[in-house]
Amino acid sequence: MIPKNTKEIFRRFHFVSRIMFPAVVALIAGVSVSAGPVEDGYRLWLRYDPLPAEKVAAYRSHVTAVVVTGNSGTRAAIRRELVGACSGLLGRPVPATNEVNGAGALIVGTPKSSTIIAGLKLDQQLDALGPEGFLIRSVKIGSHPATVIASASDLGALYGTFHFLRLMQTLQPIDALNVSEKPRFGLRVLDHWDNLDGSIERGYAGRSLWNWSELPEKVDARLVDYARANASIGINGAVLNNVNSSAKSLTPDYLKKTVAIADALRPYGMRVYLVPRFSSPMELGGLKTADPLDPEVAAWWQAKADEIYQLIPDFGGFLVKASSEGQPGPLTYKRTHADGANMFAAALAPHGGVVMWRAFVYDAKPGSDRAGQAYDALQPFDGKFATNVLLQVKNGPLDFQPREPFHPLFGSMPQTPVMPELQITQEYLGQANHVAFLATMWREFFDSDTFAKGPGSTVAKVVDGSLFGQKLTGIAGVANTGSDRNWTGHPLAQANWFAFGRLAWNPGLSAKAIADEWGDMTFTHDRATAAEITRILLESREAVVDYMTPLGLAHIMNDPHYGPEPWGHPVPREDWNPVYHHRAAADGLGFERTAKGFNTVSQYHPPVRDRFADLATCPDEFLLWFHHVPWDYQMRSGRTLWDELCLRYQRGVDWTVKTRKDWAALAGKIDPERHAAVAEKLAIQERDAKWWRDACLLYFQTFSKCPFPDGMEKPRRTLDEIKALDGYGNAVKQKQ
C-alpha cells in the first residue's frame, strides 16, 4: 500500500530517504557523490550505493521495473526495498509498476498475489519449498525477458527479494537465474538479553533498541531498519527481554509496549517472543505458589497466554531460563524441568506457540564437574517434553568460551527438538573491542560429528531435524545489537550478526563464503581489499583462542568477563572461579574429565569419547579441557606443554600486531571513517592480547617453574603489577 500520510511515509523511508536517495538524486543530477553518505556503519550490509560501472551496464537491462502487486505490509516492504535498492545500485530510478511493460521487470509475489506468477504454474515447486522458501527464475513474460521471485507466502517472497539483491551486491550474474532456496531451521531467533531499564546484560553496543519508557506511544523508526536487516538474512523472530527476566514484562502495560514492537517487526516476518519469569503467578497473580503442577498456577499461565494472543495473534512463544543461576523454576517445588516446560507448553499449544526451554543449568555441587551437569539434569527427560517444546542448548557444555567441544546433549536427545543457542555478542571474546569472526567457530560446531547414529551424525544434522526426523527445529543467537549508531560497537562485529543469520538459514555455508559476501556488501567490491578483509575475519577467532585460552583452557577471565584473571577471585561458587577451571598445579595444567577424574567425557558417544579420552588421540585444541597434563608432556609439535602454551599465547599476540599493520595498509581502500574505527579497535586488541599472554603465563609459571622459551616476547610487567589492573586493564593502584 502506498502510505497516504506524510509522517508515515517519512517513517517508512527513514533509511532510504536519509541515506540512499540523496546519492541517487545527486547522480541523476550529474553531481559528484564522491563525498558519499556518512560511513558510520548504520547501513550494515544493506548498502545500495552504485555498483561498478561494468556491472551496472550488465544488470541494467535486467532490472528496469519492480512489479509487486497487492498491499500487505510485507508486499509494501518488498516494493520499497526493491525500488530503493535497485535505484541505488544501478544509479538511476527503477520504478514500481503494476504490469510488465517491457524487458527487465522484476516480478515478485505468490501465486495468490500475482496473476503473472499464478500463470507460471509453479505451485507444486513452491509448496515443496514451504512457506519461507522461494524460487528466482529468469523467464519470459510474453516476449519480454523478466525475473520472477516467487514463493508460497509473502514472507518467502521477501526472503527471495533479499537473495536477489545480495546477488547484485556481490556482483553475481543475474541473467539466467534458477535459484531455489528454503531454510534448514524453522525458528531463527535472536535472543535479546535486554532489561526493562534499557540496559543489556552482556551488551556492548549501547542501550536496548526497545525504548520501553517511550513505548507504545513512540515507536523508534530504527526498529524498521532492525527488522529489514534481520529479514535480509532470514531471521524470523526476536526474544525481547532478558532470560534473567522481570515479571513486569507480562503486565498489561508492558504487553501493550510489546504489541507496538510486534507491529513494527511483523511486515518483515519477525515474530516476537518473551521470557516469562517463572514466579510470575506469585508476583503478578498473588498466588501462593508457582508450582508447575498446581492447577491454579497452570490456569494463571493459560489466562496469561490467552491475553497475549488476544493482543498479538502471531506471538511466537516463551523462552525460559528456570532453576538456573538463581532464577526461580520447577526445582524450587521439587518438580522436574519437563514439568516446568510442559506447563508453559500447555498454555501456548492452543495458540500454536512454542516453548524454548534453556538447558543452561548447573548446580552448585562442590566437587563436581560443572560442564557435565546440564547433561545429567536434562538427558533423562528425553521423550518427556510436550511436542511444542524445544530444548535450547549452548554450543558448548560450559558457557560460550572462545573454544569448547560441542555440548554432549547434541546427539543425546533423539526424541526432543534441540536448538543451539549461539552467542553473537562477544561476552568472552573481547566484547566489542576485539575482532573475532564467529562463523569459523560455528562451522566447527555444526561439523562436529556426534556419532549418535554412526559416522556422519554431525551436529548440523542433529539440529536441523534430519538425523532424528524432528519437524520442529530452531536456532537462537544472543544478539550483539544495541543503540550504537553502527549497531554492534565494533564495525567488524556486524559480520557476526550477518553470519548467524546466514548459518541459521543454511548451516552448510562455509565461513569463507559468508565472510566474502559480508565484506563485499559492507565494505568494498575491490577484490584484493575484500580478500584481505575475509582473511582477517577467518583468522581472527583462532587468534583470540591463542591469546586467551589455548589448548583447551577455559573460563580464566576476570569478573567483567573481559580480561585475564587465572589467579581467581572470591566468588560465591567454586565453579565461577578460574582456578576451578584450569587446575594449574606443580604437576601440570588442565581439567581431568576422563575416567581418571570426573569422567564427563563418557557423556559423548563412542568413538568420540574414546578419541577425547585418550591423550594420544585427543586433539591439541581440547587437550586441557579433557586432561590434566604434566608441564613437560611432549606435544605433537615435539615441544613440551609449557613451551607450546607459551608459543600459542605468543602466536595470538603476533597476529594482533600483524593485523594492525595489515589493516593500516588498507587505508584509502575503504572509507576513512570505518577504517579509523577498526584501527582503533585493533590497537585495543593488541594491548589486550599482550595483557592476556603476560597475565596467564606469569601466573602459570609460578607452577611450571619453567623459563619462557625462545620466540616468546618477555613480559614487561610483573605478575603483581598485572594483578593490580582493573577489569579492563587499566592501572588503578599507583606505585608508591
Instruction: Tell me the catalytic residues.
Output: 325, 399, 427
Q: How far apart are CA 9 and CA 250, in angstroms?
A: 32
Residue 453: CB atoms within 10 Å: 14
Q: Are strands 65-67 and 96-97 parallel, antiparallel or unpaired?
A: parallel
**CB contact set of 34 (below 8 Å; sequence gap of 6+):** none
Q: How far apart are CA 49 and CA 46, in angstroms?
A: 9
Q: How far is the CB of 397 from ligand GCV (least distance, A)?
A: 13
Q: How far is the CB of 324 from ligand GCV (least distance, A)?
A: 6
What one-character-per-residue DSSP string does 395-437 give? SSSSSS-SS-PPPTTTTS-TTS-EEEEEE-S-TTTTTTTS---
Return the closest-CA partner of residue 403 out of 229, 277, 543: 543
Q: How far is the CB of 573 from ligand GCV (least distance, A)?
A: 11
Q: How far is the CB of 46 from ligand GCV (least distance, A)?
A: 29
Name the residue nearer to ligand GCV (CB basis): 361 or 589. Answer: 361
Cross-sheet strand order for the sheet of 144-150: 96-97, 65-67, 105-109, 144-150, 134-141, 178-181
Name the residue nearer to ligand GCV (CB basis): 442 or 649. Answer: 442
Q: Which positions touch ligand GCV (CB under 6 A)?
A: 193, 201-202, 243-244, 321, 325, 360, 399
**Residue in the block written with cell 620466540:** 711
Size (the chain), residues: 736
**CB contact set of 273 (below 8 Å; sequence gap of 6+):** 189, 237, 238, 239, 240, 315, 316, 317, 318, 319, 356
CA dihedral 256, 261, 262, 268 (to 10 degrees): 170
Name the residue nearer to ligand GCV (CB basis): 398 or 463. Answer: 398
Category of 590 on φ-ψ map: left (φ > 0), alpha (ψ -120 to 50) or beta = left
Q: How far is the CB of 259 from ligand GCV (least distance, A)?
A: 25
CA dihedral 608, 612, 616, 619 (to 10 degrees): 100
Q: How far apart are CA 410 and CA 404, in angstroms?
A: 13
Q: How far is the CB of 361 from ligand GCV (least distance, A)?
A: 9
Please answer whether residues 190 and 421 qualify as being in contact, where contact means their C-beta atoms are separated by less than 8 angstroms.
no
Residue 145, class by beta-carbon neighbours within 10 Å (0-12 exposed, 13-18 middle, 19+ buried)?
middle
What are φ and ψ of residue 393, in 5° steps? -120, 130
What one-character-per-residue DSSP string does 145-189 give? EEEEEE-SSHHHHHHHHHHHHHHHHTT---SS-EEEE--S-SEEE
Name the residue nearer to ligand GCV (CB basis): 396 or 405. Answer: 396
Q: How far is the CB of 422 from ligand GCV (least distance, A)?
A: 12
Q: How far is the CB of 437 from ligand GCV (least distance, A)?
A: 21
Name the residue nearer to ligand GCV (CB basis): 560 or 606. Answer: 560
Category of 150 on φ-ψ map: left (φ > 0), alpha (ψ -120 to 50) or beta = beta
Q: How far apart are CA 126 and CA 226, in angstroms?
A: 28
Q: How far is the CB of 277 from ligand GCV (least distance, A)?
A: 13
Side-chain-facing half-sphere of 531: CA atoms under 13 Å: 3
Name the residue nearer to ligand GCV (CB basis): 361 or 495. Answer: 361
**Residue in the block written with cell 520447577:** 330
Q: How far apart are CA 722 and CA 14, in angstroms?
A: 48
